[in-house]
Chain A
Amino acid sequence: MNFWEFVLHYLSSERFVTAAGMTLLISLCSLAGGMLAGLVVALLQEVRFLPARILAVFYLWIFRGTPVMFQLIFAFNVLPSFGIVLSGFACAVLALSLNEGAYMAEIMRSGIRAVGAGQRQAARALGMRDMQLMRWVVLPQAMRIIVPPIGNQFIGMLKLSAIVSVIAVEELLLVANQAASSNFRYLEALSAAGIYYLAMTTVFMVLQALLEATLRRRGRPMQGGLLGRFLSATADGARVR
């Protein structure tokens, strides 16, 4: 077999497909978990109740102050001694989510802060309570601001997920490395893994661009199918810039 035949063989092999799926699944779950954790931590920082803010700062201190690999190994090796036994996958998602949450919190907080005091005051003047103005006025506007950085975080997450190989989760890079070590075809195996990574990041960059363009249209009804949307979205983007 020549180079391309090997690469194609790896790309289509069940192990690689499963591993790429695992990488994608870990990334998606961790991003969702990270957004949830980040939103909670960001909102905790907005609350008047002091212990809530202290809790948020403590969280940020821990998870930004230690390496993500430390958090991963901690979840896998230390939690069982407290009676918490999780699968490798669960540990990976837990550690990556909590780590991501610390960065997401800062992104979300900057988005929340970017919605001006005047908007909050207008909502208050209409009789909204704090929760209502957050839900209906601040967060919808903050979301538009934070889509670009969240997209970047997701692409970063796809690549970061490779480190969960240290707790023996069968993700893409681990499988590629194992495949190569059996026949020393590193170039071919790593090329196949690289193609999967690039394909996934490319898909998400396109999705991110579509989402940004859609949000810029501020929820106006969409016309046509995906292609029509993409064309009108890019046209819209061009007009705005």
Chain B
Amino acid sequence: MSDAPLLEVAGLYKSYGAVPVLRGVDLHVGRGECLCIVGPSGSGKSTLLRCLNVLEPIENGRILFEGRDIARSTRREAPEIRRRIGMVFQNFELFRHLSALDNIVLAPQRVKGESLARARERARALLDKVHLPDKADAFPDELSGGQQQRVAIARALAMDPALMLYDEPTSALDPETVGEVLQVMQELAEEGMTSLVVTHEMGFARRAADRVVFMDDGSVVFAAPPETFFGRGADIPDRLTRFLSHLSH
């Protein structure tokens, strides 16, 4: 394994029309690292994830993923990059016409060309991994939010991504199902799955993150390991202190 980070973002600039959303984001994620991105809403966290998955065009900057600049990939190249990057959405977005198992099977079978038997076998293993071994035949509307989100995680993992992006994965969940989703994410991170998590769950950031990143107003303000991030050191920026104190009230 090389020392180069798996993902390196430099000077990323993005605007919607005249409104800048990301104003020069710098970020790097090493292999096996789990990063949590926190910050007030409107700070550009979700937009950053969408740019990383090539779902949004950017105006300026570089995104090096596995040593390759993906920021300006063409419409032909983008799908190949996305196969290497799993993404989990706030609203799960399971395919509503397919069972849990078939949601996981679809992309490996149709995109990667895996045989149905092999894709099914792996999908069952992934359902075990997200602690839903008996929900293979359930349809999305028969599952709770937390269960749907865990199937969505398994669906993303089925493509064997090198990086997982989570866009506020527990924000749409009932409080009682948040824990089961965070648990699965933490287990994956501990197994060495490189993860980038946009979240408001500070407890999760404290427990699972190798580093926590604070974004505000379209740029990275501060990044540090959790013990420093949530500590009371002199170098904590005022904005972060204010943000964290708002959350605790």
Contacts and interface: CB of A to CB of B under 8 A. Distances in A.
B5 interface: no
Given A118-B91, A122-B89, A126-B155, A132 B97 contact: no
B82 A124 contact: yes
B111 A125 contact: no
A181 interface: no
B53 A125 contact: yes
A159 interface: no
Contact count band on A: 20 to 34
B139 interface: yes
A132 B95 CA distance: 14
A119 B140 CA distance: 13
A182 to B, nearest CB: 55
A128 B111 contact: yes
A219 B89 CA distance: 26
Interface string A134-146: 0011001100100
B159 A126 contact: yes
A125 B53 CA distance: 7
A222 to B, nearest CB: 14
B89 A126 contact: no
Given A127-B80, A127-B82, A136-B106, A122 B111 contact: no
B91 A126 contact: no
A119 B95 contact: yes
A140 B97 contact: yes
A29 to B, nearest CB: 29
Interface in A122-180: 122-129, 132, 136-137, 140-141, 144
Contact of A127 (B83, B89, B93, B152): B83
Number of chain B interface residues as a range? 20 to 34
A218 B97 contact: yes
A125 B82 contact: yes
A13 interface: no
A18 interface: no
Contacts of B93: 118-119, 121-122
B55 interface: yes
Contacts of A119: 93, 95-96
A86 to B, nearest CB: 39
Interface in B99-139: 99, 106-107, 110-111, 137, 139
B111 A121 contact: no
A132 B87 contact: no
B95 A125 contact: no
Interface in A41-65: none
B97 A219 contact: yes
A144 B141 CA distance: 16
A124 B79 contact: yes
Contact of A132 (B80, B98, B111): B111
A167 B86 CA distance: 59
Interface in B186-229: none
Nearest to B88: A125
Contacts of A128: 79, 107, 110-111
Contacts of B137: 220
B12 interface: no
A128 B93 CA distance: 15
B154 interface: no
Contacts of B159: 126-127
Interface in B61-84: 79-80, 82-83
B82 A118 contact: no
A141 B96 contact: yes
Given A122-B93, A125-B85, 12 more contacts: A118-B93, A122-B87, A122-B94, A125-B82, A125-B87, A127-B82, A127-B83, A127-B111, A136-B110, A137-B95, A141-B97, A218-B97
24 contacts: A118-B89, A122-B87, A122-B89, A124-B55, A125-B53, A125-B82, A125-B85, A125-B86, A125-B87, A126-B82, A126-B83, A126-B155, A126-B156, A126-B159, A127-B80, A127-B82, A128-B107, A129-B79, A132-B110, A136-B106, A137-B95, A141-B95, A219-B97, A220-B137
Interface of A: 118-119, 121-129, 132, 136-137, 140-141, 144, 218-220
